[in-house]
Amino acid sequence: MLGVAFRVGAELVAAMVVGVGGGLVIDRWLGTSPWGLIVMFVLGSAAAMLNVYRAVNGMGYAVGYRRPDTGANSGGGTNSTPAKDEGEGNRGH
Amino acid sequence: MATDPLHQFRIEQIVPLHLAGHDISFTNSSLYMVVAAVLVTGLLVAGTASRALVPGRLQSVAELLYEFVSGMVRDNAGTQARPYFPLVFSIFAFVLFGNMIGMVPGTFTFTSHIIVTFTLAALVFVFVTLVALIRHGFHFFSFFFPSGAPIALAPILIPIEIISYLMRPVSLSIRLFANMMAGHTMLKVFAGFTITMIGALGAVGWLAGAVPVAINVALIGFEIMVAFLQAYVFTILTCLYIRDAIELH
């Protein structure tokens, strides 16, 4: 739905803001220009993808957080469609 | 004729104030924050004054608002999150009223400024972090390493998890501010088309100018939905963060 789309978009932008901003701050602080920026940009992109994956997959929004019932339903690694739908429905998007 | 679509976001001082070199003037933004706070308080105080068994109109609205947020906290943050209900309710009511007041023509939408939404998001972030630290102590830091991942991946995973934790207030504030600002700018741009067409085309312009007005009618309905949806999303995510802080993993 629209809510999910808005959420995913903001997620990507926020990761870039934190990654690049953090990189620039580290560079200014430690004088490591441009390595802080490069490393933090890559890590920020990874965090963005991770959070988009979590947001869309209905795994709970959190860092490292896995909802116990979703894990049991989907049987570990694979995410079947019913479990995914249930996860979406629970959060009302 | 003012057709600058960004003019509506201008901060204007009403009562200039300065404290220790900082500008703490009472602005139009502050004015509408006070209006929102007064309206929320007024609704709840007036709505609960009669305490009727069969609620009147105002009491129904107050009860609806209370039960909506209460259900949201119960479903998304868990039953242990009861003590944090007042915070979640205040945030939802403040953001919702801010967004909705902004839909009244001629008003100022304080949620369209990132400093306002970021302050709200930072409040949530600091609060949730403190709750997690107080409840779990140093166990909180296990949050940054997904359980079951190989130790060899720690140098990559831990920075990524820390970034995605720090991202929370940023994405929370960007989402709300960007939606409100984009929506209000779009309304003004379409309204501006009408004025430009009338100015440039004369009689034909009055006919052609009706098209953007028709679009705006649909857009205002859409914007009211977005105003509610964004307040809802902000609050749902607050609930999910509180749930993480309580349960960790």
Buried b (16+ CB within 10 A) or exposed e, A49-72: ebbbebbeebbbbbbbbebeebee
Residue of B nearest to A66 (CA): B249
A4 has a pLDDT exceeding 90: no
Averaged pLDDT, B86-90: 95
Q: Is cis: bond before A34, omega within 30 of 0? A: yes
Read off the amino acid at residue B194.
T
Contact between A14 and B167 using a beta-carbon 8 Å cutoff: yes
Contact between B174 and A13 using a beta-carbon 8 Å cutoff: yes
B195 within a domain of the structure (yes/no): yes
B121 has a pLDDT exceeding 90: yes
Q: What is the pLDDT of residue B37?
A: 95
Taking a contact as any Cβ pair under 8 Å apart, which residues of chain A between 7 and 46 contact chain B? 7, 9-11, 13-15, 17-19, 22, 40, 43-44, 46
List CB contacts of B13: < 8 A, sequence separation 6 or more: B25, B26, B27
B90 has a pLDDT exceeding 60: yes
Q: What is the pLDDT of residue B218?
A: 93
What six digits make up the tokens of B77?
Answer: 């943050």
Averaged pLDDT, B7-12: 85
Helix or strand (DSSP H, E) at A3: helix A2-30
Residue B85: closest CA among B62, B97, B68, B98: B68
Alpha-carbon distance B118 to B176, whole Å?
9
Q: What is the pLDDT of residue B65?
A: 93
Check residues B90 and B5 and name the one with the higher pLDDT: B90
pTM of the model: 0.82
The CA dihedral of A84, A86, A88, A93, to the nearest 10 degrees, is 150
Is the ipTM here above 0.95?
A: no
Alpha-carbon distance A68 to B199, whole Å?
63
A2 has a pLDDT exceeding 70: no
- Give the side-chain half-sphere CA count within 13 A for B226: 25
Check residues B115 and B201 and name the one with the higher pLDDT: B115
For residue A17, the tally of other CB atoms under 10 A from its CB is: 17
Q: Is A55 helix (H, G, I), strand (E, B) or coil?
A: helix
Strands B18-19, B13-15: pairing kind: unpaired
Contact between A2 and B229 using a beta-carbon 8 Å cutoff: yes
- Which positions in chain A touch B236 (Cβ < 8 Å)? 91-92
Distance from CA of B154 to the nearest CA of A (A): 13
List CB contacts of B218: < 8 A, sequence separation 6 or more: none
The total number of structural domains in chain B stands at 1
Residue of A nearest to B72 (CA): A91
B2 within a domain of the structure (yes/no): no
Q: What is the pLDDT of residues A7-64, one digit of tens each?
A: 788 888 888 889 999 899 999 999 888 898 999 999 999 999 888 888 777 655 444 4
* Domain span including residue B179: 7-247
Q: What is the pLDDT of residues B220-244, one digit of tens each?
A: 999 999 999 999 989 988 998 898 8
- Helices B85-102 and B210-247 cross at an angle (nearest 10°) of 170
Alpha-carbon distance B35 to B14, whole Å?
14
User: With bands split at pLDDT 50, 70 and 90, how would you rate the model's confidence at B50?
Assistant: confident
Read off the amino acid at residue A77.
G
Averaged pLDDT, B123-133: 93
DSSP secondary structure letters along chain B: ----TTGGG---EEE--EETTEE--EEHHHHHHHHHHHHHHHHHHHHHHS--SS--HHHHHHHHHHHHHHHHHHHHH-GGGGGGHHHHHHHHHHHHHHHHHHTSTT---GGGSHHHHHHHHHHHHHHHHHHHHHHHGGGGGGGGS-TTS-GGGHHHHHHHHHHHHHHHHHHHHHHHHHHHHHHHHHHHHHHHHHHHHHHHHTHHHHHHTHHHHHHHHHHHHHHHHHHHHHHHHHHHHHHHHHHHHHH--
Mean pLDDT over all residues of chain B? 89
Measured in whole angstroms, the distance separating CA A13 from the mean position of its chain's CA atoms is 11
Residue B241: closest CA among B161, B81, B132, B128: B128
A66 has a pLDDT exceeding 60: no
User: With bands split at pLDDT 50, 70 and 90, how would you rate the model's confidence at B21?
Assistant: confident
Contact between A19 and B163 using a beta-carbon 8 Å cutoff: yes
Contact between B167 and A43 using a beta-carbon 8 Å cutoff: no
